[in-house]
Amino acid sequence: MPITAPQTAHRLNEWTANEIVAAIRAGKTTCEAVARACLDRIAERETVVQAWQYLDPDKVIAQARALDRSGRKDPLIGVPFGVKDIINTCDMPTEYGTPIYRGHRPASDAACVALTRKAGGVLMGKTVTTEFANVTPGKTRNPLDPTRTPGGSSSGSGAAVADCMVPLAIGTQTTGSTTRPASFCGVFGYRPTWGDLRPTGVMEASGSLDTLGILARSIEDVALYRDVLLGVDPKPVADDLPAPRVGFCRTYFWDRLESATRERLEEAAQRLARAGATVEEVSLPDEFEELEAAHRWISGFEMARNLAWEIENRAELISEKLRNGRLKDGLACSYERYCEMRDFVARCRRQIAPLFERHDVLLAASAQGEAPVGWDPVPHPWVYMMWTALHVPSVTLPVFKGASGLPMGAQLIARWSNDRRLFAAARWIYSRLGDA
């Protein structure tokens, strides 16, 4: 039987990051109180959800108390956050989801962790990842129904945010590793314009495609955290822009989506039009259908070379699923084919730009349907491959429910480097759709 998550925010662990910051600055609560509330939630639920690879409650409380003593008023003051375990932390293990690096201790924080700490965030611990952020699942379960996958590879990050263990978590995305768990767990999942958020100190899977990802329970929190990771003064999400111009994008894989997903997206397009948005159907160039294969060859070629040492020296500790999947494809890919695929994707990136002359955002699926039963962390990767390869920003909105009452997200995609406009459109659209 599915386990129902809290529906109303009344405990500190259920507050958004913006609510926490405002309350601490106003003296209505403390960093320690918030941290303890999140730790209590983890203690209550971790045996079911299993979102955490590393957690040290004493270390968490020590961080929170130090912030309370400091009197700081930083942008993320007192906000607990989780970090996917392919991202380096100087005072916690970083194991990349593999026994090869069990107990590994980096010497420094990744840039994203250092920036979050600088902004007053309280690092709760390391969230579970799939092996090398790829296809072999970790231990995490979907917090809304533990018989189902939470999605990967940012499994623990998505589950921890959805279950109100933390308001913010950092994930990554090479294919759909932020979009997918956001959709399956019912939270906001943001993949930025490629290259904006610096990946220094983050395990590289495929540098041509990798981005950081943000998982949160409000679009305002996503925007706040993006500004922190950019190292700029936070700006509120614009609320004075006109109704967005929405391109309804069925994509070439429309017939492969579950019928409920197709129905919800069509209903959403109709509701947005009635609410005042300009909604038009958008067709993508025919050759975009080949982006799925191009992504597979590029990501496989790069990952196989990034893991050259592990393949040569610790192959027996790499899962069979990874060895015979992306790594096998990557080792079989010639440099000539890699260059051909890379050039093809670059042409497609130029072709998508004109679509945004008439539309602020595209509306598309964020997953095939509800989280499937079982532990496959990366079902139906073709839903995400295209948008990730195109380097454009996207955000998943938790707006739908499927036949089993579980979340199904809608994905909004914006023009390259138009992330703030994406947030404004997401806010407008989410307020009109809610849990459709």
Active-site residue, selected from the candidate residues 177, 208, 218, 299: 177
Residue 84 falls in the annotated catalytic set: yes
Give 290: exposed, middle or buried? Use CB within 10 Å, 0-12, 13-18, 19+. middle
Active-site residue, selected from the candidate residues 84, 206, 319, 394: 84
Residue 206 falls in the annotated catalytic set: no
Residue 431 falls in the annotated catalytic set: no
Q: Could you give the residue numbers annotated as active site?
A: 84, 153, 177
